[in-house]
Structure 1
């Protein structure tokens, strides 16, 4: 392989995905670089300018101008870091998250249209080729947050949710088959009858394989949504996937018009509870119980969606 081989491929690929075609309005009114900064902020909600510079290899002055523009447009707010007062935390406002979601939706639609032209029989070969390119050029580096994508479930993904919940909870917490039965009923109810405007499932994907999931479904109480079945694979933890999945549910529930978001968990799930707390959930009740072959302490958590967005 030569330098020209790679440059030829780069020209081909940018044409295929339309990266240079601004008439397609993929990023308008922002540039590709500005859209990438928005993406990073949407998927790393607690970061600062130094983190962004390191992650994106951007010139400090250039990044500063982008952030100034975002602040002027009402997309971000900058506050002092609680860990280091010399740094300023950068986070998206509610408008910023809406803008990032719109740009992501446009990109997903564009890639979906491209993928629709690829025969189903060729898609596994394409995915494997893309993984091979990434693995070879990454020089063995560990996966990054940006490598993870959130998507809707495809064929087989709902079954994966049941299987992985059952397997992981058995290994990590000693849950028996009763838990698998509960998860299977939750997933079956969603598959058989759900309103896509009010209920949704997210799959976190890394290198072409599912590594996490979460559900948002209607609760029995009017105006209430329920977060269910949050899971992140052990080898994918530390990439902020749980935070992103919970954020996706919170944002979806707000847009769908729910007044509150609730969830039930057990206090042994310490990592998940910390995520819920970071997103504003409040513990409202707890009760000991015997379930799934274990003595547990169940907890009910609640988030007021009419409160100030994070």
Structure 2
């Protein structure tokens, strides 16, 4: 491997990226950097200017000009951070989320068109090669928390939620197909009838593949949202994915006006219980039951969204 090898690859790849954007105005009316800032804001539960500047290695003045442009366009709102008034918290408006979603859709369509030129049998080899490049050039042996992104579900992701919940819980806790049936009904209900302004699914993605998920849906009680189907793949644990997924649900539920956030889990899921408690959930009731082929103790947890802050 020589410097020339890397420079030759860079020239090749920039040509590929240019071809993707040629005549398409992929990021219009925003630059690539501006689109990346929008992307980060859309996929972070909450952030501030310092986080963005550090995460994207941007000059403070340049970032300030970008955020001022976004504020003028009605894409973001800025306010003092609750944790540190010296810092400025940045949040997307509804228009900002729509814009970020549009740019994301364009980018996914463009990359999808590129992948169509690769034979299906060769795609795993391509994915592995990309992971190898990232691993070797990142200076570390494995993925980092910042390599994980939270996104909206794409085609096939809802089916993935059902399949992986069933497989993971069968392998780790011996649950039978009754649990798969429950997950399938929850996912089907969401797919067939949900309010996109009040209900949402997040997929955690690492190296182009899903490694986690969570749902926020309306509960029967007025003003109450329910967190459902939190899952992190075993090989992706340790990257704070569960923390980010739960924080995303809390932030969304609070933003759209829910008063309470509830969830149901079982006492055997100790890691999940610790995670919920860390985010301010309070255990309300415990009920023994036999489900999924096992004797379990169900637990109801609640978070007062007005009385607790992340």
**Further displaced range: 103-112 or 124-133:** 103-112
**Contact 1:289-1:296 at 8 Å conserved across structures:** yes
What's the offset of the Cα at 1:16?
2.0
Q: Report the CA distance shift for 1:23/1:251 in structure 2 as closer, same or farther (over 3 A).
A: farther
* Alignment partner, residue 212 of structure 2: 212
Q: In 1, distance between residues paired with 2:103 and 2:249?
A: 15
* Alignment partner, residue 285 of structure 2: 287
What's the offset of the Cα at 1:92?
1.6
What's the offset of the Cα at 1:149?
5.1
The residue matched to 1:90 in structure 2 has which SS? strand
**Contact 1:40-1:146 at 8 Å conserved across structures:** no
- Structure 1 stretches of 5 or more lacking a match? 171-175, 278-282, 305-310
Q: In 2, distance between residues paired with 1:93 and 1:86?
A: 22
Q: In 1, distance between residues paired with 2:41 and 2:244?
A: 13
Q: 2:180 aligns with which of 179, 184, 187?
A: 184
* Alignment partner, residue 91 of structure 2: 91
* Alignment partner, residue 307 of structure 1: none
Q: In 2, distance between residues paired with 1:220 and 1:263?
A: 11
**Further displaced range: 193-202 or 47-56:** 193-202
What's the offset of the Cα at 1:93?
1.9
* Alignment partner, residue 29 of structure 1: 29
* Alignment partner, residue 297 of structure 1: 299
The residue matched to 1:103 in structure 2 has which SS? helix
Count of residues in correspondence between the two structures: 288
Does residue 164 of structure 1 match 2:168? yes
* Alignment partner, residue 145 of structure 1: 146
**Further displaced range: 207-216 or 56-65:** 207-216
Q: In 2, distance between residues paired with 1:2 and 1:230?
A: 45
Q: In 1, distance between residues paired with 2:250 and 2:120?
A: 30
**Further displaced range: 295-304 or 69-78:** 295-304
What's the offset of the Cα at 1:47?
1.8
Q: In 2, distance between residues paired with 1:275 and 1:208?
A: 28
**Contact 1:49-1:89 at 8 Å conserved across structures:** yes
What's the offset of the Cα at 1:251?
6.7
What's the offset of the Cα at 1:120?
1.0
Q: Report the CA distance shift for 1:158/1:45 in structure 2 as closer, same or farther (over 3 A).
A: closer
* Alignment partner, residue 275 of structure 2: 271
What's the offset of the Cα at 1:90?
1.6
Q: CA RMSD in A?
A: 4.0
Q: In 2, distance between residues paired with 1:73 and 1:276?
A: 35
**Contact 1:217-1:225 at 8 Å conserved across structures:** yes
What's the offset of the Cα at 1:34?
0.4
Question: What is the TM-score normalised by the length of structure 1?
Answer: 0.73
Alignment of 1:14-93 (within 5 A): 14-18=14-18, 21=21, 23-93=23-93
Q: In 1, distance between residues paired with 2:107 and 2:220?
A: 35
Q: In 1, distance between residues paired with 2:117 and 2:226?
A: 37
Q: Report the CA distance shift for 1:240/1:85 in structure 2 as closer, same or farther (over 3 A).
A: farther
The residue matched to 1:18 in structure 2 has which SS? helix
Q: In 2, distance between residues paired with 1:181 and 1:223?
A: 33
Q: What are the superposed Cα offsets for residues 41-76 of structure 1, whole Å, 9 maximum, x if unpaired?
A: 112232222221111111111111111111111211
Question: What is the TM-score normalised by the length of structure 2?
Answer: 0.73
What's the offset of the Cα at 1:181?
4.0
Q: What are the superposed Cα offsets for residues 218-262 of structure 1, whole Å, 9 maximum, x if unpaired?
A: 87899998652112246435545554577489979x99xxx9997
